[in-house]
Amino acid sequence: MSGVEILVALAIAVGLVGVIVPVLPGSLLVLGAILVWSWELGTSTAWVVFAIATTFIAVGSIVKYVVPGRRLKDDGIPGSTLLLGGLLGIVGFFVIPVIGLPIGFGLGVYLAELRRVGSGAAWPATAHALKAVGLSLLIELVASLLAAATWAVGVVLT
């Protein structure tokens, strides 16, 4: 393994952690590392690997919004609730580094639903929203892992 491949592997590992811990743009870091590797090698195999990895990341990026969004719509949770959750998630990210994003999001969704439907139905709606966020995270992680596995196969082939 060359020095570039070791650095790319480390960047991919950091990107995978970034998918789970929302501090870094994980998928983009994985894709960027694979781009550096492809650029460095410059072979057609390396560029095919990059194209496949890009496809995995792009499809994952689309699906991670579509599938959970549809589930939330089916559960009757409006976009305004998610907007408030997102805004408080951003505030929480800066107030409590790393873990503040999910805490702020959950609190924002709960408060919006508390105002909209009352205390009896606020918690179930919040649980649905948090499950949707977890599903979105899982979809992005699978897409990033598939891109990383594609790169690993490419390293073996080159």
CB 65 within 8 A of CB 54: no
* Token duo for residue 53: 């990895």
Length of the chain in terms of residues written: 158
* Token duo for residue 73: 């719509």
Task: Give the containing element (helix H, strand E) for 93.
Answer: helix 79-95
**Global pTM exceeds 0.85:** no
Spatial CB neighbours of 152, under 8 Å, sequence gap ≥ 6: none
> What is the pLDDT confidence band of residue 28, given thresholds at 50, 70 and 90?
very high
pLDDT exceeds cutoff 90 at 133: no
Average confidence (pLDDT) over 24-42: 92
Supply the DSSP string of 94-145, one letter for each residue.
HHSTTTHHHHHHHHHHHHHHHHHH-HHHHHHHHHHHHHHHHHHHHHHHHHHH
Average confidence (pLDDT) over 96-108: 83
Query: Which is it for the CA torsion 124, 121, 87, 101, positive or negative?
Result: negative
> What is the pLDDT confidence band of residue 49, given thresholds at 50, 70 and 90?
very high
Average confidence (pLDDT) over 25-44: 93
